Amino acid sequence: MEVSVSQKQKQTDFELASVSEVSSSSSTLPPSPVVARFGFDSGASVLRFHSDSESNEAFHIDLRSAQLFRLSPVESICICGTSETNTEKSYSRGISIQFRKEEESRAFHSAFDQWKKELVLQESCLPNGILSASKSKFDDKIEASSAKMYFHYYGQLLHQQNMLQDYVRTGTYYAAVIENRADFAGRVVVDVGAGSGILSLFAAQAGAKHVYAVEASEMAEYARKLIAGNPSLGQRITVVKGKVEEVELPEKADILISEPMGTLLVNERMLETYVIARDRFLVPDGKMFPTIGRIHMAPFSDEYLFVEMANKALFWQQQNYYGVDLTPLYGSAFKGYFSQPVVDAFDPRVLVAPAISHVINFTSIKEEDLYEIDVPLKFKAAVGGRVHGLACWFDVLFNGSTVQRWLTTAPGAPTTHWYQLRCVLPQPLYVMQAKMWGPGAEQGGILQASSCKFDLKEPYYRMSQPQAYPVTQDQPTHHLVNTQPVNS
């Protein structure tokens, strides 16, 4: 559970032998007694040095820019950045601190380090999740308007409820964590894009030493409430509000947990954030849940869907719409509708060839390798007919030390909130079973071509409620997803 610095720290005084500003004879406190005190000033964490008289304060240091170095068992120097407002010139300031005893020096250094650590967490929880005025890696990649809409969407409880009520998703995550307690017990965990905090709570249930739940949207506030309402688990969870690309954490993680999957696995680009979290927060050889993702693609035949898509553009074929000829826009409308991937649950029997799979290993892939993904496709038709497009789905592996568990969105499996995705071609292709057909077939030439550019950000949701298509006994086995153990 997150506790702010002002709540957690009690005012503690440290008596010192003397304090003086380096290279300055005028800024020196009287030799006895000198008191150092950590506290707050206008929301900033500060260190004050003063004598017995509260009005006789000589030094006031902002801990955000301060560093403390031990010169001897009873002598230290504090270096801090400051500025002259009239010249706007930055420079460093040194404060020499003399302690009475070595034990008091150790206690002061320990308190200083604790305040600095908690200040990092406090700053990472700024309302807008930004730690500095400079643009982060996230800002360089993502349009501000797109990011605002994204975080607004996931900052609403109704969308979190939609994901929580996906019992395939939530139940698989729970099983993957609890069945692999050995990976979580006594370990530091970072929950990347924590949302409601449910995965953080799962990790705490599995015995995690501490969990840092990083969430950039306003959902972080709800996560704090949920975690605070489960105090037996929440006392080992800290909510950090901010972007993974920007926040700082006080320690490295032994294991990352996240739900970074979008439509077709890669949509929403959160996989990149997951990999950045790996590079920033995870110890070498640390574990990632999920560990591996696979994208599956296969050609399908669905005449009804094709006609449905084509008919959506018929409106623009009207030549006398209130006296206006709409046909000049028909071609653009037709192209626009077919650029929308169709998101729904379909019968696996519409597939006409075995699927091709593309594997993404989250533990080793580079962030830049996710910017553009090329998947070579070559299929051998199992049945003849018209191919109307490409059907796609994904699965992820939780490669635990005890149990390997898959979360799949395959057709025929219980439907998830991701459903499946189909890219419908504006011009169907004709194929025959396991052989070429038409002019040039004997030479193995290209017989037909159909192309389209699809926009994953503009899907056509064809279903409002999940619907599972049961696998029949005569279902060809090559349509099913291989969920055998994978060695990472």
Strands 282-289 and 253-258: parallel
Starting at the earlier edge strand, list the strands of the sheet with 89-98.
18-21, 89-98, 75-84, 66-72
Phi, psi of 417 (to 5 degrees): -70, -10
Written as one letter, the residue type at 477 is T
E strand or H helix at 356, and its extent? Answer: strand 356-361
Token pair of 300, please? 């399908």
Question: Angle at which helices 157-164 and 167-178 pack, to 10 degrees?
Answer: 70
* 407 burial type by CB count under 10 A (0-12 exposed, 13-18 middle, 19+ buried): buried
* Active-site residue, 367 included: no
Residues whose CB is less than 8 angstroms from the CB of residue 448 and which lie 6 or more positions away in sequence, other chains included:
429, 430, 438
Phi, psi of 70 (to 5 degrees): -90, 120
Token pair of 411, please? 């057709």
Longest dimension (CA), the chain: 101
Burial letters 444-463, b for 16+ CB under 10 A, else e: eeeeeeeeeebebeebbeee
* Active-site residue, 259 included: yes
Strands 237-241 and 210-215: parallel
Nearest-5° angle of CA 297, CA 379, CA 263? 10
Instruction: Considering the candidates 2, 246, 259, 272, report the single residue annotated as catalytic.
Output: 259
Residues whose CB is less than 8 angstroms from the CB of residue 464 and which lie 6 or more positions away in sequence, other chains included:
none
Instruction: Considering the candidates 215, 245, 268, 272, report the single residue annotated as catalytic.
Output: 268
Query: Distance of alpha carbon 443 from its chain centroid, rounded?
Result: 49
For residue 24, the SS3 value is coil
> Where in the sequence numbering do the catalytic residues fall?
259, 268
